[in-house]
């Protein structure tokens, strides 16, 4: 019809989609990592399973993590070879806190 515009559909990358989410973190750390145990892990699966890239290696090859941006999947705990030894302690953020998804 005359005067109508057609909006172009654009496929968003995973990074673009996660950038739309908002986070409200409580006082308590809901992810704690014993990086000493991570040193002995040869495969470091948490680096690959986390879509939010919470876990990274620094310039010295040491594990670093940033819980801001965590999508609360808990996959890091499931794939951790040192589960039960406390390498990764993960729980949901306190009530009403955490991630809020905005991509529909």
HEC secondary structure over 26-59:
CCCCCEEECHHHHHCCCCCCHHHHCCCCCEEECC
pTM for the model:
0.66
- What CATH number labels 24-92? 3.30.70.20
pLDDT tens per residue, range 60-97: 989 898 887 788 888 888 898 887 688 888 777 777 66
The per-residue pLDDT for range 9-31, each reduced to its tens digit, is: 678 776 776 666 666 666 557 78
């Amino acid at each position: 019809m005359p005067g109508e515009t057609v909006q172009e559909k654009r496929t968003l990358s995973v990074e673009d989609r996660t950038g739309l989410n908002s986070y409200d973190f409580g006082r308590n750390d809901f992810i704690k990592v014993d990086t000493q145990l991570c040193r002995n892990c040869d495969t470091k699966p948490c680096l690959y399973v986390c879509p939010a890239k919470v876990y990274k290696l620094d310039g010295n090859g040491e594990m670093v993590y940033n819980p801001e941006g965590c999508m609360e999947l808990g996959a890091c705990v499931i794939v951790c070879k040192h589960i039960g030894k406390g390498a990764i302690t993960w729980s949901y953020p306190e009530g009403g806190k955490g991630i809020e998804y905005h991509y529909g």
